[in-house]
Amino acid sequence: MKSERPTESVARIASMNASNDTPRHDPTRKRLLQAALEIFADKGFRDATVREICARAEVDVASVNYHFGSKEALYSEVLGFAYREASERYPYTKAGDKSLPPEVRLRHFIGNLLGRMLDDTYLGRHGKLLARELADPTPTGALDQVIETTMKPHCELLDGIVAELVGPGYSEADMHRLGLSVVGQCLMYYHSRSLIDRVYPEIIATPEDIERTAEHIARFSIAALKHLHLEKPAPHRAG
């Protein structure tokens, strides 16, 4: 038996999205968003409980239903919020600045992306939440919107940089594979952190190590892109 309240809350969320984040003074809601971001990033959607989020936000468990309508709707809201905040903390303006050489732009892109994954301050949670959602999308359907509105433009930005570095003569699919080869090197530092911490803990142990890693990824990628034409595809393999 659903009361009328969730419908009202859902409508409120819809108007929030449509108005592109109208400023609101609503301390409870803000506290919930912040607490949820921390706990969802840490534990994922399934393991995070409404009770734990509300305890951290110091509000009553019914508040999630009142302000957001459901745990899922809260998660969707948090995901969008996370992406917007990560973009502020790690902006892509230099990567998008076409007056800079493509090598420099690529370095900025990689530094930003890796920073989001590995920043252990409170803002690193945004990147972590996104990486987690990519690896195991929640049934909320929130990922589709985030990909369309924000991640896709970043993929296109990277495709442009890659195209300048590698030169002409590659299919569209291969151009995409090139971009993914760059991005994959960064994302694995989140997705395979458990392996890295056990096998090679020294390489991202400190902020300096992280910077060295970003520089290494940039160097590896630039070397690959500039010299790809020298490596011929291998002959087709049987079976």
Q: Which residues bind DNA (CB under 7 A)?
A: 1-3, 5-6, 26-28, 48-51, 59-67, 70-72
Contacted entry of DNA, its own copies, none for residue 10, CB cut-off 5 to 8 Å set by kind = none
The string of DSSP codes covering the chain is: ---SHHHHHHHHHHHHHHTTS-----HHHHHHHHHHHHHHHHHHHHH--HHHHHHHHTS-THHHHHHHSSHHHHHHHHHHHHHHHHHHHS--TTTT-TTS-HHHHHHHHHHHHHHHHH--STTHHHHHHHHHHHHS--TT-HHHHHIIIIIHHHHHHHHHHHHHHH-S---HHHHHHHHHHHHHHHHHHHHTHHHHHHH-GGGGSSHHHHHHHHHHHHHHHHHHHHHGGGSPPPPPPP-
Judged by CB under 8 A, which stretch of 3-11, 54-62, 72-80, 191-199 contacts its own copies? 191-199
Q: To the nearest whole angstrom, how small is the minimum distance from the Cβ of residue 152 to its own copies? A: 6
| Residue in 107, 116, 126, 128 binding its own copies, rule: CB under 8 A | 107
Q: To the nearest whole angstrom, how small is the minimum distance from the Cβ of residue 198 to its own copies? A: 5
| Nearer to its own copies (CB atom), residue 120 or residue 136 | 136
- If one asks whether residue 173 binds its own copies (CB under 8 A), the answer comes out as yes
| Nearer to DNA (CB atom), residue 49 or residue 192 | 49
- If one asks whether residue 217 binds its own copies (CB under 8 A), the answer comes out as yes
| Nearer to DNA (CB atom), residue 71 or residue 154 | 71
Q: To the nearest whole angstrom, how small is the minimum distance from the Cβ of residue 39 to its own copies? A: 14
Contacted entry of its own copies, DNA, none for residue 44, CB cut-off 5 to 8 Å set by kind = its own copies
